[in-house]
Amino acid sequence: MKPLFVALALALATTSAVAAEVESHGPHPFNIHDLVMMDRVGDPQLSPDGRYALYTVRATDYAANKGVTSIYLLDLEKGGEPAKLVDKASDPRWAPDGSAFYYVAPKDGVAQLWRRPLGAGGKAADAQAVPVTHAPIDIDGYKLSPDGKKALLTFGVFTDCADLACTKGRLDARAADKASGTVYNKLFVRHWDTWADGRRAQLYITDLDSTEGQPVLLSRGIDGDVPSKPFGDDGEFSFSPDGKTVYFGARIAGKTEAWSTNFDVYTVPADGSAEPRNLTAANEAWDAFPVASPDGKTLYYLAMKTPVSEADRFGIMALDLATGQKREVAPNWDRSAGGLQISGDGKTLYATADDNGQHPLFAIDVASGKVTTLVTEGDVGAYALGKSRLLVQRDDLRRSADLYVADLHGKGLKQVTHYNASRLKSAQMGAPEFFTFNGWNNETVQGYVVKPANYKAGKKYPVAFIIHGGPQGAMSNGWSYRWNPQTYAGQGFAVVTINFHGSTGYGQAFTDSISGDWGGKPLEDLKAGWKAALGKYSFLDGDRACALGASYGGYMIYWIAGVWNEPWKCLVDHDGVFDARAMYYDTEELWFEERENGGPQYLHPENYEKFNPVNHVKDWRVPMLVVHSAKDFRIPDTQGLGAFTVLQRRGIPSQLLHFPDENHWVLKPQNSVQWHETVNAWLKQWTAPETAKSSSK
């Protein structure tokens, strides 16, 4: 292992090389430099008349080590080049009459809601944009009322404060205080990558035509976050069609927040004249994402049935607001729906879901529950629903996200943006192919391989065997900016990945089967999948293979290091669970640990020890790279430090890459480059023909 100062020098050299290389567009195998510099298209919004598309593009400012998001406009009738409307802004939304759009951008260092009129041909001048809020603290999210006169706003506030200014004053006072300690009385103490400071995300409403007065608090008495943390968005709150009622989802926190998934859907008058009322109190599992029917008589929402589960199937529920009667719209559809949208006539619901390695867009008939796939292959990351067309954000294993249009039946799908086209054209990629095999209990399991970018028939290639996280997730036909198979294919590796028991998109029983069996059925699937891949694809060099994984995939790396290390020349573990017992007491979302292991560790210690990697470290032998980050509160970095300690103490070749400024993911562009360069160097070191040969003796 190189001394630390040598590693630092190499890192600096790599950064300089990347800065010089990112503008290169000559033919070459796809690499991390291509990946980090790609423009990221998102948040598509269709104008009320269906002619224009608003959307965001996140570009990379490599020198500043961050992404910069801007808002663009595309005329879907005329085509041509999109027009950039606003720099350093997000969350574009159309005014209901299409005469203007709203967005979030800073004013004097505070995120505010802005309004910008659109002239003929969709043109808008910077001088026309005006802020419509003047809050003392950042707006975190918003949603316009159906008539465009009001807006729901979310702020992070101290709930005992009478107004937003009180929260601002308290934050300023804390910043000026020389004492840095914080006293906590309950969990969460920290969540995802943020330490709790006593604030809650709360829902307000404001009049957009008036600059006077305070926004009105709607989530009065709700000891919870609206939207939820850490990833909640405006899909968790909505208006009734007449704008007089607001619906939102929330979990009452109290003392149980860290071990509860009991989210409920609430209703509240839009004028704040009454406190919120719980509509789904009878269900102790997760209820969320309310959408009212166009006639205002029915509220549709998503609901799980299993308490303390975050990976149960989200079924589509219909609540008759007059009678309180509930029914499931498509009870036989064995997929977990994403956020809902509804057609103008109220007859059709739209949702995305994982499905056999894809993430399509579906239409669900409200009356019959019949489900129709509209956009099939690839990953539909977001979509906008118009009167006569769909605007879809879509990507796949060989293409980053772009926008497409289709009719409401998904017919005539046409690409309308072409971001990263030149970069993708010059970057050579590997061809993906899905395959199936008999896994645990002879049940069908799916995986895929990706050929190396420089593939030549008859030649064998080293293999990157990638194990996905979640564990209730999947490696699907989608583009990723973290674990992208093309970054390995571009380095000359073939990629193999398996959607083992526990993965999503294959039915709820398949997903549930991993709970209580982390090292059982999934390991059998991985073994069988590896054997099937070697038998089916002659270009895979089984003697030069490394296994890699993050989160649950990282857990599995530590697990196979002790119980299935024979095939591997090296291992790469990112943010994995090393000691299941310690993990229970160190993590933040206890409901996950308790669901997966049958309850708290102190009541069921045997369940936590059954598949605990720390109990098998005496059998570790394979060289391992450990990656962990200091702001990862989901799987704290002490897990990675413990594994590295074992590796060093036992004399096993090993490295530790530690990021002080990243969370469970590595997000900053230069950190991402360093991550990939370190991982790629590790793979190449141990799969080089001479290294592989000597290590097998």
Q: What is the chain's percent helix, strand, coil content, to nearest 5? A: 25, 30, 45
Unique residue bearing structure tokens 């006077």:
212
Output the CA angle 382-633-139, nearest 5 degrees. Answer: 50
Catalytic residue among 47, 551, 629, 695: 551
Which alpha helices (H) appear in 204-248, and where do they start and end?
none
SS3 353: coil
**Where does the pLDDT of residue 693 fall: very low under 50, low under 70, confident under 90, or very high at 90 and above?**
low
Look up the pTM and report it.
0.94
Question: How far is the C-alpha of 384 from the C-alpha of 390, rounded, in Å?
Answer: 6
Q: Find the farthest-apart pair of alpha carbons in the chain and give their distance in angstroms, rounded.
A: 79
**Where does the pLDDT of residue 3 fall: very low under 50, low under 70, confident under 90, or very high at 90 and above?**
very low
Per-residue three-class SS string for 429-474: CCCEEEEEEECHHHCEEEEEEECCCCCCCCCCEEEEEEECCCCCCC
**Where does the pLDDT of residue 339 fall: very low under 50, low under 70, confident under 90, or very high at 90 and above?**
confident
Question: Are the C-beta atoms of residues 316 and 340 closer than 8 Å to each other?
Answer: yes
Question: Are the C-beta atoms of residues 620 and 561 closer than 8 Å to each other?
Answer: yes
pLDDT on residue 209 = 86
pLDDT on residue 214 = 87
- pLDDT above 50 (res 83): yes
Retrieve residue 196's tokens.
């709790």
Question: Are the C-beta atoms of residues 37 and 57 closer than 8 Å to each other?
Answer: no
Q: Of 63, 375, 163, whose CA–CA distance to 383 is shortest?
A: 375
What tens digit of pLDDT does each residue of 623-648 get? Answer: 999 999 999 999 999 999 999 999 99
Q: Which amino acid is at 86?
A: V
Question: How far is the C-alpha of 627 from the C-alpha of 642, rounded, in Å?
Answer: 12
Catalytic residue among 264, 287, 575, 632: 632
Retrieve residue 83's tokens.
């027009």
Q: Is 543 a catalytic residue?
A: no
Q: Is 632 a catalytic residue?
A: yes
Question: How far is the C-alpha of 380 from the C-alpha of 392, rounded, in Å?
Answer: 7
- pLDDT above 90 (res 575): yes
- pLDDT above 80 (res 674): yes
Question: How far is the C-alpha of 437 from the C-alpha of 170, rounded, in Å?
Answer: 59
Catalytic residue among 145, 664, 672, 676: 664
| Superfamily, domain 429-695 | Alpha/Beta hydrolase fold, catalytic domain (3.40.50.1820)
Question: How far is the C-alpha of 254 from the C-alpha of 419, rounded, in Å?
Answer: 46
pLDDT on residue 119 = 74
User: Which is higher by pLDDT, 1 or 238?
Assistant: 238
Q: Is 664 a catalytic residue?
A: yes
